[in-house]
Structure 1
Amino acid sequence: MEILLEHDTAGDPITGLKWTRKTTEKIAQVLQEIDIPVSANTVARLLYQMDFSLRVNRKQIATNSTPYRDQQFQHICLLRTRFERQGLPFISVDSKKRELIGNFKNTGAKWDRSPVLVNDHDFPSDASGVGISYGIYDPPHNRGTVCVGISHDTAAFAAHSIATWWKREGSHRWGRVPKLLVLADSGGSNSCRSWVWKTELQAQVCNAFGFTVTIAHYPTGASKWNPIEHRLFSEISKNWAAEPLTSYETMLNFIRTTSTQTGLVVTAYLDRKEYPTGLKPDPGLISSLSLKHSATLPKWNYTIAPNL
């Protein structure tokens, strides 16, 4: 059978597992054509004995990599080390995918005596609303905060979420500080190209609390290295796996009850404000920005100070 699969086989050099693009029915058919009567089930059993396995596509190839990727990672590492040594706060931020609120299927599986029955189609018109999660992860304290919005994932919503975190938790945890480091992706509501993101940070965070914010963006296509992704959002997804988010209270409860063996604690707040899309900052706000670009990859690294 190995000869039949020679040109249709791939494998993992670490685990030794192999896989083939042929189905067990097609393999059985080929064997029957050379007078080897065998069923598809027998083929499956033999394949497992030969270390073959059912495999799915794995997203691992970066197609939009940048030549400055390593340089930016090194710069972020230096910033984190500097802030840590000085006892200054740094956070990782990002928005999670938009969730429909209602009796809709949620990905994942859970142990139960019977499946939970949900709507057979995910029509937005059947939803009672949408839940947009903007997360703030505090690595030194292993604490997560999620603001759940009900309208749109905008720069104003992102900045307001950071302000909410600082007002309700960050200031109590860190005290009075002169600086804050924010690690963010390069796109979305906290895009490195967005003037609204910068002006909203200026108004809602820097001016409001009187400290300087240093922002470092992960390169395009490298968001999986943003700590919030694997330290906070992945744990929330596991906690509500296969559970319909039937109401905002249900969604908030799943977020708040997310924990890990390493001591992760998560809080959540519902933001009922409306955040319209398509807004452009007033030219006067842009000109009044107290913005300073870093000498290292200035597109991704900059500092915003309070307006005096």
Structure 2
Amino acid sequence: MRIFVTIAAAALLAGCATTQKSAATDLEASGPRDPLEGFNRAVWGFNQTLDKVAMKPVSTVYRTITPRAARRGILHVFDNLTEPWSFVNNLLQGKPGRAVNNLGRFVVNTTIGVGGLADHATGLGIKPAPEDFGQTLAAWGVKSSTYIVLPLFGPSTIRDGIGTGVGMFADPVNICLRECTDLSWTERMIPDVVNLVSIRANLTETGADTLLNTSLDPYATARSAYFQRRAAEIADQAGDAGSASDADVDAAIKELDSDTPTADAPNPDSAPAEDEPAATPAPQPTEQPQEEPAAPPQPSSSDLNLK
């Protein structure tokens, strides 16, 4: 059995050694092909209006009432739920090593990480290996095709749009929600809405709003950023955006019941506390010059007066 698995893994790796590199350069070489720019700009405008009216206000309230540690924990939870689908796609692409990473991260973060709230896998050296079906199609040699802006979903291509649709039905987590629970379609959408709000809040924190607001052409900026990001993802050069290491996540989770300022207060308060002892030695040099006037010169002058 071990020999069969080893031979199968070697064959898969050999078969994908060239397709991975060619797929990674596909987007880089093609550049932004946008023959549907008129339509795409109209959809972009619709998405931007929807964002200003609904998504941004909701995410702003979410950031206001939810402590930062809790927001990071929620991001980790949804990142953890993508591991099974990444596992499947890494296997489909012939990347057993990355698939093992997905499996290891899911097991570690689901158990030790309390359902994914904390990212202990990264601390243990199990690196993120995110994949989706669009990347799988790219690894199989499918071209990116035409750039298209999807309502609600945003920038994409024909190939990645198909990948998104397949993922909505074939993702093991979605299959489990459909087949293993009695939840209605509306109830199954609640986690997706929470995830969307969480991602939107994180975009604000990472400066995406500033980037678009200061751009002369936000549409072109978003399009260029999408192609660059997608090329990096296909080349396996982009890590999981939401899996940044948080050494203090466990401690922060225990403080979720406290107010937001108290969660962030220890760091700024500890810095002045260290500065105050440094301020007390400062007067000491000023005391030394006061001892010099009381030194021998005064007695010597009194002796002269007595004589």
- The TM tier, using the shorter chain, reads under 0.3
Q: Which structure is larger by alpha-carbon Rg, 1 or 2?
A: 2
Q: TM-score, length-normalised on structure 2? A: 0.23
Greater percentage in helix: 2
Q: TM-score, length-normalised on structure 1? A: 0.23
